[in-house]
């Protein structure tokens, strides 16, 4: 009979978040598959545990994954850990779980730290319905396509981001959703210098143009107001004009169409678009 793959979350900063079940699972597993054995060794030392480890990361999902599967099929149990947080959420654990599921190998997820849930909970944004968007692509065309697909999204949107890409990402978000859209920027969660900045996309884009932050980040962006429940603003009109211009319409035609669709004054929208 195949062994079980245990998904063991690890702290996203604060070692106090290690749970008893997390530690027991690491202790009882036959071996540990780790994203980076140096990072996981620190955790094992902290827990006073010694375990055989192998690496399973983004660049060896085929060979590393096969090595894990072979041992599971031979009846061993494996604890999968990543550098921080819940394995399989925006990290290569996802592929391994899919392969185990396809082979009917049992998978058991231990609940624990996860940056997206922690950020959402503290954000002050609506939590009833949300969409996790992971990292935006590096490639400009793919980034734009991703953001374009979210135009009009009414659920709260959660993004992971790296500090050196933050300024560009905030600018892209402000261009897509408008500068007034509320945002909670959650930095260094559970760590000594945890910071929750509740602001708008426009203000954050301007601030981080000049200040590159340190540490890890999650962006929690308010969804669009439900269509039909509010009157469209001039800003909505400008965003639509911009989109239509991108599709090849002249300024005059884009203004005409946007004003009609949103019930705005054509002259006012035209003046605002010209002055932009
Ligand atoms: N599996 C992890 C989880 O459960 O959240 C996420 C892995 S993903 C490769 C790493 C990203 O998670 C970081 O770039 C950052 O966006 C976010 N993250 C992780 N730890 C964080 C922290 N302490 N504060 C804010 N964001 C964090």
Q: DSSP for 108-147, please give it.
A: EEPP---HHHHHHHHH-S--SSEEEEEEPPSSHHHHHHHH
d(CA 93, CA 34): 10
120-165 tens-digit pLDDT: 999 999 999 999 999 999 998 999 899 999 999 999 999 999 999 9
The sign one gets for the Cα dihedral 22, 27, 29, 34 is positive
In this prediction the pTM is 0.84
Q: How confident is the model at residue 229 (pLDDT cuts 50, 70, 90)?
A: low
Pocket of ligand 1 (CB under 6 A): 12-13, 82, 84-86, 89-91, 114-116, 160-162, 186, 188-191, 216-218
Q: Which atom of ligand 1 is nearest to the CA of 114?
A: 4
36-65 tens-digit pLDDT: 999 999 999 999 999 999 999 999 999 999
Do residues 172 and 179 lie in contact, with contact meaning Cβ atoms separated by under 8 Å? no
Q: How confident is the model at residue 226 (pLDDT cuts 50, 70, 90)?
A: confident
Phi, psi for residue 123 in degrees, rounded to 5: -70, -30
Mutate which of 9, 115, 132 for ligand 1 pocket (most atoms within 8 A of beta carbon): 115
Do residues 118 and 86 lie in contact, with contact meaning Cβ atoms separated by under 8 Å? no
């Amino acid at each position: 009979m195949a062994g079980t793959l245990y998904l063991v979350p690890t702290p996203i900063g604060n070692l106090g978040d290690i749970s008893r079940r997390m530690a027991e699972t690491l202790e009882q597993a036959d071996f540990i598959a780790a994203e980076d054995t140096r990072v996981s060794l620190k955790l094992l030392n902290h827990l006073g545990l010694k375990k055989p480890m192998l690496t399973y990361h983004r660049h060896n999902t085929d060979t590393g994954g096969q090595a894990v599967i072979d041992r599971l099929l031979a009846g061993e149990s494996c604890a999968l850990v990543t550098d921080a947080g819940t394995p399989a959420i925006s990290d290569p654990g996802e592929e391994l779980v899919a392969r185990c599921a396809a082979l009917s190998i049992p998978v058991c997820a231990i609940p624990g730290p996860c940056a997206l849930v922690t950020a959402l909970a503290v954000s002050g944004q609506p939590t009833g319905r949300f969409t996790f968007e992971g990292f935006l692509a590096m490639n400009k065309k793919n980034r734009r396509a991703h953001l374009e697909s979210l135009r009009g999204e009414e659920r709260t949107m959660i993004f992971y981001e790296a500090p050196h890409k933050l300024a560009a990402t905030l600018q892209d978000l402000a261009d897509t959703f408008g500068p007034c859209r509320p945002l909670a920027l959650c930095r260094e969660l559970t760590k000594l210098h945890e910071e929750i900045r509740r602001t708008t996309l426009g203000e954050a884009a301007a601030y981080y143009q000049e200040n590159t932050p340190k540490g890890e980040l999650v962006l929690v962006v308010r969804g669009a107001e439900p269509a039909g429940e509010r009157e469209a603003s001039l800003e909505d009109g400008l965003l639509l004009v911009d989109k239509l211009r991108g599709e090849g319409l002249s300024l005059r035609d884009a203004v005409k169409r946007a004003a009609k669709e949103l019930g705005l004054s054509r002259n006012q929208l035209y003046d605002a678009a010209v002055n932009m």
